[in-house]
Homo-oligomer: A and B are copies of this chain.
């Protein structure tokens, strides 16, 4: 198909497609004439994926490029999957080699995490320090509840990883990280609204 049809099929403007081609997020079409290229269903799928990563995933163009690259070069063993996936989706935020609050919590729970990956523990450390700074430290049974809820989710998710193909597995883990995160946060906010209606409506009825 021509670029105009690719645009129509995906709803992505031609100028945007050209930008993705220039920045390497979308692979070139097959040249059929000096200034004319032919695109296929692979381009449709890739374009939708790029839009998802940039849009709902909230990634930058550079981060999206990194994710696409990792998806093209899946690691050899399932055990290396998460490391590669997390590297792909990690922002360029500063990681901290020291994360005492995070380590203490993970120790208390007996969670075994990748000792070489400081990114996730830095994020946890920052989150815990932010709560401390704000004078908003949740009681420890709340931290336990959050940990148990996320562990139950992660267990179910990893059971679904398609281990037959490392390319498919990588795709599953990367997209499951980038695209499910905004889903969970949106659901929590809506769950708050639902709970607020059930709990507070009788206390302060709508006027």
* Nearest chain B CB to A63 CB, angstrom units: 15
Residues of B within 8 A of A121 (CB): 186, 190
The answer to whether residues A192 and B157 also contact, given A146-B184, A182-B130 and a CB cut-off of 8 A, is: yes
**Chain copies in the assembly?**
2
Decide: A183 and B131 in contact? CB cutoff 8 A.
yes
Which chain A residues numbered 79 to 128 have a C-beta less than 8 Å away from chain B?
79-82, 86, 102, 106, 111-114, 117, 120-121, 123-124, 126-128
**Which of A17-25, A31-39, A193-201 faces chain B?**
A193-201
Q: Which chain B residue shows the least CB distance to A11?
A: B133
Contact of A129 among B56, B78, B187, B195 (CB under 8 A): B56
Task: Provide the bound-state CA to CA distance between A185 and B180, in Å.
Answer: 10
Interface size on A, residues (CB 8 A): 88
27 residue pairs A–B, Cβ–Cβ below 8 Å: A45-B135, A51-B133, A52-B130, A52-B133, A55-B126, A56-B127, A77-B200, A78-B200, A79-B201, A81-B200, A82-B193, A102-B190, A111-B190, A113-B194, A113-B197, A114-B193, A120-B186, A123-B186, A146-B153, A146-B180, A149-B153, A150-B190, A151-B191, A155-B191, A158-B196, A173-B192, A184-B184
